[in-house]
Amino acid sequence: MAKRVVVDPVTRIEGHLRLEVTVDEKQNKVVDAISSATMWRGIEVILKNRDPRDAWAFAQRICGVCTTIHALASVRAVEDALDIQIPKNSNYIRNIMLATLYVHDHLVHFYHLHALDWVSPVEALKADPVKTAELQKAVIQKYGKIVELAKDYTGLKAYARKFPKATPAYFKAVQDKIKQIVESGQLGIFAPADWWGHPDYKKLPPEVHLMAIAHYLEMLDTQRELVIPHVVFGGKNPHPHYLVGGMNCSISMDDGNAPVNAARLGLVQTAVEIALDAINYFYILDLLAIADIYLNKYNWFYGGGLAKERVLGFGDFPDEPYKDFSKTGDYWNKILYHSNGVVHNFKEGWQKAKYEEFNKDSLEHVAEYVQHSFYHYTVGDNKPLHPWEGQTIPAPEDVPPTPWKFLDPNHKYSYSKTPVYKGLTHEVGPLARYIVTYVGVKQGHIKPTWVDEMVVKQIDMVSEMLGIPAEKWMLSTVGRTVARGLEAQLGANLNSYFLKKLYDNIKSGDTQVANNTKFDPSTWGPGKKRGVGMTEAPRGALSHWVVINGITIENYQAIVPTTWNVAPRIKNEYGEQRAAYEAAMLDTEVKVVKEPLEILRTIHSFDPCLACATHIYNSDGEEVTSFNVNSACAV
């Protein structure tokens, strides 16, 4: 017998997501799945006819969780259109802000959005604090080798190392705190359904639960220190400031009031050091302890989904300023993180996987469908549109009346479009990036940078620790979660690396942070100009596409990671295709139909951001409010 299960809304994510799964109760397996974004998209409409120099400030408000990433993609797109190359300092600062986002976003995702899919405060009450202290020491000893990959490139690390506490007294105090929470009944969304009794929470020993919950509480305090670079270089977090042509944080080692001076660089240095410790001694070790038990003891390899077939990445972290994306493709000549590619059939192992580079010539193959989306195209809904020609036209007449009981996958059922590359859906995200880089290096397609080499070392080291081939452990919900933690370690190293480059460049006497030679619209010239800004957001491949006509925006489209992954299914010359969420759920076992914890665990491993995928706009097409962003530049 098959049973239809609806989870709406999915919580511990950004935005509104509805999941519908059909579970075969005899096999306890998902046999069909729908993922529906239930928000209205419209940021692209708001940006029409505006000054392109202001676009980053509006685009950044797509989301408050992703904080900085849409601004980065936006300024890159406008700079690409206007042929603007940024100075060295602004390139280093932007990379530090991006690496900071990786560290903060990944750590918060695991501990505060995803960890409670694996560990339970109720189970933690059963733990022996003495055994938990022994477990903490054993985890450091067993998996601590991976910490050797952490590196302080500045050579200035002096902050007292934040190391996991491993005493019975500490864990007893944490357990007492947890007991107060449990007895108060404040267990969040799971309390009414009593999901804490789900059998999967019994897979881990109580001591693992107590250790992880203790770190959950510690990271609540630590995570706020990690975003200090955004505050120093961008003025605030979330939504730090950017500037077309560079950054607006002037540098002076003599002026105590300068946005960037010796004292404030010291704050950045401290944040980078804290991040190195938080990632290496807490986050990664906790992940590996949980992964080892789930994979080796319980053979829990569900949730691989589309990653087994196709993954996509754009690459990031240009080592030095680049010329452009769409004309010479110089961006891909400068990047350190060569996740720019497509990999097919990684399930067969890296030797048999098919690798394809993503570069300037790939841009023409990106498009979006609206076959099953609550939008219409003037050219017909079965035809995909390239984002430079993209349209965002709502189709309210196709939205089923509320309340929804079940959605019909044969009709339109989501506010997300369906992005494709060469006509195919792809999974994006940290797992995708790691697969692309790993296969690219192993097969010899990439001349590896230190970043690429670190990715390969991480994957091989984890494979050795777990005793499981990369193509097996990575292609699972567990693997997707571990890849995110490994990338956080990579981000911490990148932070230190680019901070050292910034120090050295300032010491050489270069304090320029902006190129304002084309900031005045009178320098742009007549006619249309197209640009694309690509980056690797924590959740995956992100691209902003702009068409500038004269001095205003004629068209603006953002294709975000969650749109790639949450998208509704399509049918074209390659057959019927699902996107990553739906494909991953089909892979998943469900033990208790009324408590589909396994489904939530798999979807949470993507870290959904529906605010990015489906932006909000007045449904009547009216202007909700008006903003005036005062552009400014610093030299």
| pTM over 0.85, yes/no | yes
Percent of the chain residues topping a pLDDT of 70: 94
The mean predicted confidence, pLDDT, of the chain is 92
pLDDT tens-place string over residues 546-566: 999 999 999 999 999 999 999
The region of weakest confidence among 62-71, 80-89, 253-262 is 62-71
Cα separations (Å) of 194 from 4, 61, 102, 185?
21, 36, 33, 11
Token pair recorded at residue 545:
């596409």
pLDDT at 188: 64
Q: Which residues contact 403 (CB under 8 A, 6 or more apart)?
A: none
Report d(CA 21, CA 23) in Å as an integer: 6
Distance (Å, whole) CA 521 – CA 231: 29
DSSP 354: E
How distant is the alpha carbon of residue 572 from its chain centre?
28
More confident residue, 203 or 609: 203
- Does the pLDDT at position 369 exceed 50? yes
DSSP 158-201: -SPP------HHHHHHHHHHHHHHHHHT--GGGTTTTGGG-GGG
Cis-peptide, bond into residue 403, ω within 30° of zero: yes
- Using an 8 Å Cβ cutoff, are 581 and 566 in contact? yes
User: Could you give all domains of the chain from N- to C-terminal order, each with its CATH number?
Assistant: 2-373+384-613 (1.10.645.10)
State how far the alpha carbon of 554 is from the alpha carbons of 46, 71, 395, 436, 628, in Å: 11, 19, 22, 34, 18
Residues 90, 489 contacting (CB under 8 angstroms): no
Q: What value does the CA radius of gyration of the chain take, rounded to a whole number of Å?
A: 24
- DSSP structural state of residue 630: -
Give me the pLDDT at residue 158, please. Answer: 73
Residues pairing with 419 in the sheet: 368
Q: Is 260 helix (H, G, I), strand (E, B) or coil?
A: strand
What pLDDT is recorded for position 621? 35
Higher-pLDDT residue of 227 and 9 is: 227
- Going by the DSSP 8-state scheme, the letter that residue 11 receives in this structure is -
Give percent of the chain with pLDDT exceeding 90: 81
Task: Encode pLDDT of 5-54 as tens digits.
Answer: 888 888 888 888 999 999 998 888 999 999 999 877 578 889 999 999 99
Tokens of residue 212, six digits:
């992880």
- What is the band of 633 on the pLDDT scale with cuts at 50, 70, 90? very low
Alpha-carbon distance of 540 to 548, in angstroms, equals 26
pLDDT bucket at 625, cuts 50 / 70 / 90: very low
pLDDT at 479 over 90: yes
Q: pLDDT (tens digit, 9 = 90+) per residue, 525-548?
A: 999 999 999 999 999 999 999 999
